[in-house]
Amino acid sequence: MLEQTSGVDEAGVVRWELFLILLLAWVLIYFCIFKGVKSTGKVVYFTALFPYVILIALLINNAQLPGAIDGIKFFIVPEWDKLLSVEVWVNAAAQIFNSIGIGFGSLMAMSSYNSFNNNVLKDTLTISILNSVTSILAGFVIFSAFGYMSHLQGIPISDLAVDGPGLVYIVYPQAFANMPVSQLWAVMFFFMLLCLGLDSEVVNRTFAMVEVMVTSLMDEFHQQLMTFFKRKELFVLAICGAACLLGIPLVMQVGIYVFQLMDHYTAIVSIMFLAFFEVILIFSIIQFKPARYEDYVFPPWAQGVGWVIAMGSIIWIPLGAVHTLWVLPGSFMQVTH
């Protein structure tokens, strides 16, 4: 389906089927958020709750399949020696940061709409607990399917456990092909992914990230933007249109490599730097591994592009500090009495 090229240095052509899906995704995003955060909240009632229905239904179905118990045991029985690996802790932290939305600015953008007396502690605990419970529930669903696939293929579960897009779009659909009423489960599963794509861990990646851009620019340049666009809905349309155009490289034949490169350098490098700046940055650099897609290792120039992508968010920390020190009155050489 991807018709992927042999590497990131071979762009290929646009996959028009995927481009139309990209366009449809941004149309859905626009109509979900163009009226502001209130309309976003209404959409989330469905997109955030429906996946739970599908996950529970899939778990009930998967638990009845042969080998499912072995997969669940593989999931819940810990390998204690892994706790000694710093990489495991870094990846676990990156997963939590991405799933909750820490460091992206989306939480601050959304919280700015809260009432002044809103109970932030209650919201924080609720979201954190629900996020962890959801991750555990999804783990039972995924690994029960892994156990079933291991039973069918006669290979260890550890050889099936992969990460990245291969898990969702390659390994798991193989499990559907052998399930009763496979077409129904496949449709339900990918419809759930659509909901998660719109919602993405409580509107972090789509609604909220667009809202971050809209809110930031509107707060800073409201008069100029309204003079040009006249209405906020048109400004949101321009943001969504620009984001759609920026997504075109991802729907080319080179797209899977572009995705893996961006995901590696933003989901792990940038976010860990931004959020764990004072605690774990050092460990991230010591344990850093270059991006790769399956057996393909990105060439040095592509790794350099990845670092440029990562620095796009990292560089603002030192620049902000230097700017603040520059514009504030006083001097390092000035002695106070």
Element (H, E) at 83: none
Whether residue 199 is annotated as binding a ligand: the answer is yes
Helices (H), the chain: 16-33, 37-63, 68-76, 86-100, 106-111, 120-153, 165-166, 172-176, 182-199, 207-229, 232-246, 255-263, 271-275, 281-286, 300-314, 316-327
What letter would DSSP give residue 201? I
Kindly state the tokens that stand for 43. 């959409």
All residues at 6 or more sequence positions from 186 whose CB lies less than 8 Å from its CB, including other chains: 173, 176
Can you tell me whether residue 292 is helix, strand or coil? strand
What gap in Å lies between CA 173 and CA 328, rounded to an integer?
57
All residues at 6 or more sequence positions from 256 whose CB lies less than 8 Å from its CB, including other chains: 2, 4, 165, 293
Whether residue 198 is annotated as binding a ligand: the answer is no
Whether residue 200 is annotated as binding a ligand: the answer is yes
**What is the maximum span of the chain, computed from C-alpha positions, in angstroms?**
81
All residues at 6 or more sequence positions from 327 whose CB lies less than 8 Å from its CB, including other chains: none
All residues at 6 or more sequence positions from 107 whose CB lies less than 8 Å from its CB, including other chains: 100, 101, 208
Q: Enumerate the known binding-site residues for Na(+).
A: 99, 131, 196, 199-200
* Binding site listing: 99, 131, 196, 199-200
